Amino acid sequence: MVIDTLQQLYKRDLTRLKKEITSYTKEENLWIVDGAIANSGGNLCLHLLGNLNAFIGAQIGKTGYIRDREFEFAGKNVSIALLARQIDDTIVTVENALALLDNRQLASEYPIKVFKEAMTYEFFLIHLSSHLTYHLGQINYHRRLLDK
């Protein structure tokens, strides 16, 4: 049951991410930083995709994905079309990886110590979902404030 719920939430919020990214009226505005806004909408999108592809795709789904966290925050000028395709790919990757889990595994310890203490798969997957929605909200504000 939790796995089905997680699949629905990730699909819903990644679909929202695609809607936000493709709603920018000018592609170059996706990469604006201004004053206290240190991360552009494009970089936050890259960060979310890297995060999910590393922690869910590579770790659970064994996709072989290799994360470039530095590029997530320093990269620029990735087209909206490419980001949209990467979001679509990530939706499939996350859905397929989560389908490999069962309730027993959800209750077991996630194999990478991401924070200071150990955590279960279930805890970390819920954390990753809330991380996605947090940055999704930032992208929404970035677009509405700076896409002029």
Provide the residue-wise pLDDT of the chain in tens; the chain has 148 residues: 799 999 999 999 999 999 999 999 999 999 999 988 999 999 999 999 999 999 999 999 999 999 999 999 999 999 999 999 999 999 999 999 999 999 999 999 999 999 989 999 999 999 999 999 999 999 999 999 999 8
Structure confidence by residue, pLDDT tens digits, 12-42:
999 999 999 999 999 999 999 998 899 999 9
Question: What pLDDT, on the 0 to 100 scale, is given for residue 1?
Answer: 78
Adjacent-strand bridge partners of 109: 120
Indicate the domain borders of the chain. 2-146
68: its two tokens: 């470039």
CA Rg value for the chain: 15
Question: How many Å separate Cα 86 from the centre of its chain?
Answer: 10
Question: How open is the CA angle 59-90-61, to the nearest 5 degrees?
Answer: 25
Buried b (16+ CB within 10 A) or exposed e, 55-80: bbbbbbbebebeeeeeebeebeebeb
Tokens 């310890």 found at: 109
- What does pTM read for this prediction? 0.96
**Taking the domain 2-146, which CATH number applies?**
1.20.120.450
By residue count, the chain amounts to: 148
Cα 72 to Cα 131: distance, rounded to the nearest angstrom: 15
Cα 1 to Cα 102: distance, rounded to the nearest angstrom: 9
